[in-house]
Amino acid sequence: MRDFIPGRKQRKAPVKYDKRRYKRRNCIEIMFGRLKDWRRVATRYDRCPKVFLSAIALTATVIYWLLILTLVMIPILIIFLSFWEDIFQNFLH
């Protein structure tokens, strides 16, 4: 794996790096931060590498599922609840 960190500006010979990959690097760092929130992955209870990688895969799946749930389902729930609130308001009056 190559590094994608740019060199310092004072450096005489500039270091080549991929600017597109460097800009996307924060997504990977955020994901590692989220994975470290899960105790089993952060402390690495599993001794076998296959079990540890499966724990990472399962954790990443749950994180992705929760992200999709919050981005997709909450606006749908808000619309649904506002619809029923209007119906109950009309029913009570």
- What pLDDT is stored for residue 1 in this prediction? 55
pLDDT band at residue 72, thresholds of 50, 70 and 90? confident
Q: What's the rounded mean pLDDT across residues 47-58?
A: 90
Whether 1 maps to a domain, the answer reads no
State which residues form the domain around 60. 37-92
The structural domain count of the chain equals 1
Whether 16 maps to a domain, the answer reads no
Taking only the tens place, the pLDDT of each residue in 19-35 is 787 778 888 888 888 88
The residue type found at 64 is Y
Q: Three-state SS string across 53-85, please?
A: HHHHHHHHHHHHHHHHHHHHHHHHHHHHHHHHH
Whether 10 maps to a domain, the answer reads no
Whether 43 maps to a domain, the answer reads yes
pLDDT band at residue 57, thresholds of 50, 70 and 90? very high
Whether 55 maps to a domain, the answer reads yes
